Every structure is written in C-alpha cells, then in structure tokens.
Structure 1
Amino acid sequence: MKPETKYQTPKAIDLEEAVLGALMIDVKAADEVMQILKTSDCFYKPQHQKIYVAIQDLYTKGQSIDLLTVSKRLREFGTLDEVGGDYFLIQLTKKVSSSAHAEYHSRIVLQQYLKRSIVMFNSQISALAYDESTDVVELIDRWQKEFDKVAEITSGGRKTVSFSDALEHLKEEVQHLSSHSDDSPLVGVDTGFLRTNRYTGGYRKQDLVIIAARPGMGKTSKVLKTAVENVKNGVPVGVVSLEMSVHQLTARAVAIDTNFHLKQLLKTGFEKQEYFTTYSAHQNRMKGYPLFIDDSGNNDITDIVMQAKLWKRTYGIELLIIDYLQLMGDRTVKGNREAEISSISRRLKRLAKELDIPVIALSQLSRSVETRGGSKRPVLSDLRDSGAIEQDADIVEFIYRPDYYGIEIQEEDYDSAAQKHCVQLGANAEIIFAKYRGGSVGTALLKWVGDKTKFIDVEDHNDTAEYIDNKVPVGSLDEAFGDDDNPFV
C-alpha cells in the first residue's frame, strides 16, 4: 500500500469544467479565455484537454463555438467517446449560467497549471542533479530554459494597454518634461552626461543600448561614468565584466569619481602622504554605492541572464551593463558566430523587456574603420559579427576620438553653435547617435581626459576633471586607514 503524500497535485477540476461550459454557451468568452489559456496542457484532466483542443480549432478557424459545433469537431477528431460523449458536454454547459466569470476562472486554472509545471520540472532537474553523469553546466542551462518557459506563460494573457491609458501616460511624461527648469529633464536612467541626456532624456526602461568603438576609445570609461552617476544617486546598477577584473573596474570608478589619476591607483601609488587621507575619505563616501560587479568570466548568455535576474530580485537593479558583447557566447546555438551573436542580441533585448530596465552592452567595431581613409568616423555597418545587433538595439552610440588617429578637432567641422562652443571649451570626442529609435540621430561632444581615463561634459560645470576638493588635513598612514598593525589593509 502506497503511503499517502502530504501534498496533492495542483488542480482545479470544477473551474476547468466551468471554463469549458462558458465557452460553449457564450462565444464572447473565447476572446478572453484564449488569451490566457494558450495551450490545452493548462487543463489537468485529459478529457478537458481534448475538448479544449476542439474549441481552439474552431476559434482559430473563425467558426462558431457552441455545444453542437464542439461535439461535431470532437467526432471528426475521433475523440468524442473518449471525453464522455454528448452527455458529458451537456453537463458542462449546465455548470454555468453565464460567461461572466470566465476570465477569472481561467486565471485560476492557469495558476494551477503553472504550479504543476514547476513541480514537474523541479522533479526532473532534481533527478538529473543526483545523476553523477550529468554535466552541471548543461543542468543549469536546462533549468534556466524550463524556468523561462514558465515565465513566458506567466507573461501571457496580459491585458492590452488601451490607447486612452497610453495617452494619459504620455501626458504625465510631457508634464514631467515641462516641469523641469533645466534643459535636460530625465525620463529614464541618467546617461551621466548633460549632452547625451539632451538627446535621450536618459536611457529608458526596456531599451537595449549598444555603445560601440574601436579598442582604446574609452567604451568602459564612458559606461562606468554612467554607472557612477547613477549609484551616487542611489540607483542600483549591475555590471557584468567579461574583460576587466573587479579590481581594475574599482580603480577606474574611483578615478572617475575623484581627482586621482588611474596610474596612481594601479601603478605608481601616491606620492604625497595626504593623498591617503583623501582616499580614505573617498572610500567612506563611495562604499555605500549600490554597484554590483560580476567578473567571474561566465560569458554564456544564459549565465548572464541568470545573474541579472538574481540582481533584480535581490538588489532591485535599475540598469544592467555588459562589457562586452563579442566576448559573450551562447552554447545553445550550434551555428556560426553570426548566428550566435544574433541569438545573444535578441536575448539581451528580451531581458531588458522582462526586467523592465535599460541594458547597455558594449561592442567592438570591425577593423574596416582603421583601413579606410578620411575621418574614420564609424558607421552602422562597422558593427562586428551581425546586423542583428543594429536591428535589436534601440540606441546605437559610437565613440569617436579624432586625436586617436592623429586628427585635430576643429570648430569648422561642426555646424551648430552649441557644438562649436563645446570645441572652444576643450571637447575632443564625439558621441555619435547612429541609431535612436526614440528620436533623431546626431552627435554630442565630450572631453576625453586621458590621464584619468574619463570623459567629462564641458558644458556641465559640475563635471570637471578636478571637481573633488583635495584640501583635507594631512594625517599619518595609520590615521588614514585606521589600522595600527597593518595600515594598508
């Protein structure tokens, strides 16, 4: 005799019957139910599954749904007797008097199906985990895929946003823009620069932003500036670094947010004693920044998606940065590199929508930029490996520094008075918006400060190379770091 189990299989038989009955007495119920219960597997009883298959077939072919047509279709499928014949169908129609609650009942049926799905795939994953021959990486990948299937089902059945609600949302956004006295009101995540904020209003939720350049142009520095400006204001940011270590990124972040040179932080150390006191003050100020870095080197898109979802659940990140796209892989794609990159860019866009945050992915440009003549400004065709990157991205930004190629930037290179003014103030780098789904393409000018490996906005008086006050009392190394036994820990 089998012992009784503590838990019962999740199901709602009575509500399954009520949904099927409602579908056969009121054709209007189908429009709501079909958006929620997209597969017959949502029903627990096999008889109910077969009936729903017949109803779905009638619905997709635009034919009427009632007791007679469902019976006829089941007979054509050869499953009428299996479900209990016409008598059973009649009994279903007697379960309900109207379709008033069909949508509500359908959502409960869906919930029970999701519970069964979770129980089933967790049992399968657990069994594989006990199997010594199972590869743990493949196991995690399978778990993620099964979990994503369930997540996709939960996103189904979302009610369409009415145009009236959309207009109201747009009105609120316009009111927000109009109420700001400055010339760069944000409706998204701060880009870190006044000039780029003017173009975008900030990186918006669900945007996939590609920032591309040749090596050495400052991609990581620019995106770290974005991260720093956000975490300074308490906005949680996650960074997946596939190239640099957390130590290197931390040093760069400190260089961006202080007046220390990167060379001091990574190579030479401090030449003046008071710098240690200054560093300690900055450390105390910055240690509360909600910046989370993964430099584990797990470059598969599945691992990155899992990490991003964990950060979202645990820390509520509002921005995800990935450095960089060409170092990522997708072990589920068995084709060429172009197909792999296409899959990665699609999944990044889907991740942005699912987490409802902007995702910034850095990207390399092809060597064709170096070989052609002229100014060597990048164009969309220079994106490496796949046109899918351009297709999936909401924003494509290029970083272009003329001095990198020995070209001196000139005022006459630009048309607008604002750009000419930026050049007069020392701007020497272009941020080219080659694609912007929410606006027009254009170019913003910034200044690259090489010894501190950071960009600054020459029009923003708060954004300078030396904006941290260094006039602090000189103390000993022990006082600076607070540990008499080991002052450098």
Structure 2
Amino acid sequence: MSVDPNGEGFIPELEQSLLGALLLGQGLARVRPIVRAEHFVEPIHQDIFGAICDAHERSGSHGVPLVAKLIPERVHMALKLRTDMNVLGYLSRMAADTVHGGSLIEKAAKAVVEQWARLNVAVHCEQIAIAARDPAADPSILGRQIGSAVEGVLSDVRGSGVRRSRFSIGQAAEAAIASARAAKEQGHGLTGLSWGLTDVNRLTGGMQRKDLILVGARPSMGKTSLLISSALATARAGHGIGILSMEMDAEKLTARALSDLSFNGHVQVPYASIIRGQLDDGQFAAVEEMGRRLDQLPIAIDEASGTTFDIRVKIETMMEQFERAGWPRLECLMVDHLGFVQPSAHYRGNRNNEVGEITRALKGYAKEYGLAIVLLSQLSRQLTQRDDKRPQLSDLRDSGNIEQDADVVVFLHREAYYLDRERATGDRETERVEKLAACQHQLEFIIAKQRNGPVTTVDLFCDMAFSAVRNGDRRSL
C-alpha cells in the first residue's frame, strides 16, 4: 500500500530524527527488529535506511560519508530537485539535528512504524469508503476486506517491540526456575491455570499460559461442560477468563454455569429446567443465589462468531474491560468451537489450509498476549464406525495442522453415551444395562498429545444434566 508523503498527516521529522540517530552510529541493532525500509513513508528515506543497513553489513559502520556513497544516483537527483540539497548535505543536516539517541532510539523507531500504520489505515478506510458508495457493494465483504487490511497493518505495530521475544539462555533459565519455585511453594505443582481437576492438574501442571490447548470430542461428550466447570474453577482461583461461545448463546451457556454451581449445593437445579423455566420456589431462590455468585467472577462471554482478526479484537477488548472493572487480568481464552471460526479469503475453499491459518493465529495470540487458549473442536464422524470409539489423533478433522500447532491435545469420551443408544436382547441386554450403570457418570479425559508431559487417560466424574465435571472419585472441586 503506497502512502503519499505529501499528503495530510505526514510528519517527515519523525523519519529524519531516526535516520539522523542512525547516521551518528547509534542503535541499528536495536532498531532493525522494529522498523523496515517500507515503514518510511518518504521514498528517499527508504533508500537512505537501506543504504545505512547496507553500509553496516559491508563494513560494520554506517556514518554519513560511507552511507552517502551507497545512495543510488536517482536519489541524488530527486533530492536536488525537491530540496536543492545534495545527499551529503541532507545526511549531515539530519545527523546534526537529531535529538534521539541511546535508549530513545527505539522510541523513535516505533514512532516511524506508528506513523506508517496510521497513514496506511487512513488510505484503506478511504478506499473502503469509496467502494461502500457503490449500491451493489456487499457490506459483509467490505467488512472482511477492511478487517484483513487493518490486521496486516496493525501486526507490524504489534511487532515493533510490544512484546519481548528475544531472551538470553540465562534469562530464560531464570524465568523457568522462578516458575518451578512458585509451583513448589504453592504445593500443588501448578505452573499454569487450574483445570479445577486434581489429577488433570497433576499430569499437566494446569492450563499453561502461551499454550494452545485443543479439546476434541464428538457431540454430547461433554466439551462445553468441561469448559464451564474449568472456567468457574479458574475464575474462583482469581484468574480472568474470556469465553467465545460461537455455538451456544450467552444465556444458555450461563444457564449451564448456574446449574454447575448448584450441583454442590443443597438445592440442585438441572440446566434444562433453568432454560425452560420449570423451577419451584426453592430452586428459583437457589438459581438467584448462584447468579449473585457468578456476578462476582471475572468471566466475560462473547457469543458472536468471526474471523481470527475478530478474535484478536475481542481479546484486546476483553483485556480493556477487565482492567476497567478492576478484575484480574485476562489469562485464559476459551473458544467454542473451531468450526465456527471463519477463515480469511486467502485460503477459502481449502479446508486444510483454512484450519491451519486459524490454529496458527490462535497459537500466535496465546504467545503474544500470554494467554492459555482452550479451543474446542468437533471430531470426525468416522470414529463412530469403530468398535472402540475412543478418539485418536487421526480423528481430528484436518489433523495435520491441528496436531502441529496445538501444544496439548485432549479428547473426551463417554462410553455411557453409546451404551445408552445400543439395543440388545437377552443376556447381551443385561450386560449392556450393567455396563451402563457402571459408567453412567464416567468421563475419560484422554491426553493424546502434550509437549511437556505424559500421554495418558484420566477418569473424571460428570453429570450431564447439571453440566458438571468433577474429579473422578469425588464430586467436589
């Protein structure tokens, strides 16, 4: 996208100040991860920055005389026509006028990138405004176009030093030891956020920040129940939770949360009764009390579907919401589910690449914002054709990309679901009924992939009527 350097809003001094500091031999190593030549709006400045980088690579220095020799001839001519100055004079003046140096040079580099981004957003918006005046224009397409364009611009701004990405091995070791020490002092081995499930926490260390955690299952296996129970437990432990409920509306999801909270109380209320309003006075009073308890928890729900760009916007909006409310910072994002995340137009029609784009983006957000991202996913129907219906990694739809990007892959399996739908006669029916009674409330938490832990299965307790998932041999969290 080309921005007119003679247009309104361009401040050439921002670029001149940075270039002047670089010509004084300061901070190129600190600047190069932040700014690129194309971030300079003035084409002459793009060539000067390129010559500075070239001079450094050739000789290890980038002073005015050497850089001037590497400036293309066309730039000499353009500069003479526009300013009546030669290149050597222009470079010398920038170096003499600079006020940025030392630690301030990174700030100058960010200012250059932010100006480029601001002007590019303006150009994109102007183009969309022109297109929007066409009566035949599709508003949804226009929205996706500007979202995609702006995301590309803002990704450069976010990459200009917002999040530290380079560490010495000693610094990384110090951070790892600090995490281990904190987990030891807490006494429960948690280095991440609690699932609210003792054995799962022991095997995983909790939901790790910066990890993409995929939870896959067939319908009615308990994905949403696990999401709700874990969200409540994590929020009660003082961590901010965001839920993108793209499949289920916020009211029905909250009805499940109310039912889950009631499960350990004196008055238990099935979530179907809440949704249908089939409550007696005692149950209604219990639900109202659960509602007051929910109101105290740092949980935000967004029920709108969207693209990965929309998810980024929702993350940042939630972070601001939590800060304004005085809540703990957002530390976990739960997405229900992968099938409702819309891909960009880039890979449209190739589902494998679409899924790869989505999972890569979510993994990137987990690292960028320091979040544990839990992504629910529907499994292929093919597994129902097997005698053993426990999921495997190959059952993931477009599993290559998901397996690659996810740090942890968990499958959920309820044998009772299948037994309840079988029909037999005689001894086989008696056997089916006995098996069903034995596993009625059993949920298998199958850890199929874990970068930093064992691959194993944990038996949990579940009660689907209350959307409640608990430790295997006890109901309390």
Q: Output the TM-score relative to the length of structure 2.
A: 0.79
Q: Distance in 1 between matches of 2:185 and 2:122?
A: 51
Task: Name the residue aligned to 2:222.
Answer: 218
Q: Distance in 2 between matches of 1:364 and 1:216?
A: 10
Asked if 1:264 corresponds to 2:267, the answer is: no
Aligned identity (percent) is 27
Q: Which amino acid aligns with 1:361?
A: L
Q: Deviations over 1:272-324 (max 9, x none)?
A: 5422332332232223333322224x343333332232112222432211111
Q: Distance in 2 between matches of 1:334 and 1:61?
A: 44
- Retained in 2: the 8 A contact 1:431–1:446? yes
- Aligned pairs, number: 431
Task: Name whichever structure is richer in helix by fraction.
Answer: 2
When residues 89 and 195 of structure 1 are mapped into structure 2, their CA distance, relative to the original with a 3 A threshold, is same
Q: Deviations over 1:119-157 (max 9, x none)?
A: 441364156347433543334334433443234334234
Cα offset for 1:209? 1.0
Q: Distance in 2 between matches of 1:453 and 1:430?
A: 15
Task: Name the residue aligned to 1:307.
Answer: 314
- Retained in 2: the 8 A contact 1:22–1:96? no
Q: Distance in 2 between matches of 1:343 and 1:314?
A: 27
- Retained in 2: the 8 A contact 1:10–1:112? no
Aligned counterpart for 1:362 among listed residues 343, 351, 376: 376
Cα offset for 1:201? 2.0
Aligned counterpart for 2:287 among listed residues 256, 265, 279: 279
When residues 93 and 159 of structure 1 are mapped into structure 2, their CA distance, relative to the original with a 3 A threshold, is farther
Task: Name the residue aligned to 2:51.
Answer: 54
Aligned counterpart for 1:400 among listed residues 413, 438, 442: 413
Task: Name the residue aligned to 1:39.
Answer: 37
Q: Distance in 2 between matches of 1:405 and 1:94?
A: 75
Q: Output the TM-score relative to the length of structure 1.
A: 0.77
Q: Distance in 2 between matches of 1:166 and 1:70?
A: 37
Task: Give the unaligned 5+ runs of structure 2.
Answer: 1-6, 80-84, 263-267, 323-328, 421-437
SS in 2 for 1:434: strand
- Retained in 1: the 8 A contact 2:351–2:398? yes
When residues 377 and 329 of structure 1 are mapped into structure 2, their CA distance, relative to the original with a 3 A threshold, is same
RMSD (Å) for aligned C-alpha atoms:
3.3
When residues 159 and 441 of structure 1 are mapped into structure 2, their CA distance, relative to the original with a 3 A threshold, is closer
Asked if 1:452 corresponds to 2:466, the answer is: yes
Task: Name the residue aligned to 2:3.
Answer: none
1:402-417 correspondence runs (5 A): 402-406=415-419
Q: Distance in 2 between matches of 1:314 and 1:122?
A: 27
When residues 90 and 51 of structure 1 are mapped into structure 2, their CA distance, relative to the original with a 3 A threshold, is closer
When residues 262 and 16 of structure 1 are mapped into structure 2, their CA distance, relative to the original with a 3 A threshold, is closer
Cα offset for 1:241? 1.8
Q: Distance in 2 between matches of 1:47 and 1:115?
A: 16
Asked if 1:176 corresponds to 2:176, the answer is: no
SS in 2 for 1:312: helix
Task: Give the unaligned 5+ runs of structure 1.
Answer: 1-6, 408-423, 464-489
Q: Distance in 2 between matches of 1:225 and 1:453?
A: 8
Aligned counterpart for 1:321 among listed residues 334, 339, 346: 334
Task: Name the residue aligned to 2:82.
Answer: none
Q: Which amino acid aligns with 2:317?
A: L
Q: Distance in 2 between matches of 1:425 and 1:405?
A: 11
SS in 1 for 2:359: helix
Q: Distance in 1 between matches of 2:86 and 2:12?
A: 22
Task: Name the residue aligned to 2:160.
Answer: 156
When residues 255 and 67 of structure 1 are mapped into structure 2, their CA distance, relative to the original with a 3 A threshold, is same
Task: Name the residue aligned to 1:294.
Answer: 302
- Retained in 2: the 8 A contact 1:212–1:363? yes
Task: Name the residue aligned to 1:372.
Answer: 386
When residues 23 and 188 of structure 1 are mapped into structure 2, their CA distance, relative to the original with a 3 A threshold, is same
Task: Name the residue aligned to 1:105.
Answer: 105
When residues 46 and 302 of structure 1 are mapped into structure 2, their CA distance, relative to the original with a 3 A threshold, is closer
Q: Distance in 2 between matches of 1:40 and 1:56?
A: 13
Q: Distance in 2 between matches of 1:11 and 1:437?
A: 48
Q: Which amino acid aligns with 2:321?
A: T
Cα offset for 1:199? 1.9
Asked if 1:251 corresponds to 2:251, the answer is: no
Asked if 1:141 corresponds to 2:147, the answer is: no
Q: Distance in 1 between matches of 2:419 and 2:217?
A: 17
Q: Distance in 2 between matches of 1:391 and 1:128?
A: 36
Q: Which amino acid aligns with 1:138?
A: I
When residues 289 and 64 of structure 1 are mapped into structure 2, their CA distance, relative to the original with a 3 A threshold, is closer
Q: Distance in 1 between matches of 2:366 and 2:31?
A: 28
When residues 125 and 86 of structure 1 are mapped into structure 2, their CA distance, relative to the original with a 3 A threshold, is closer
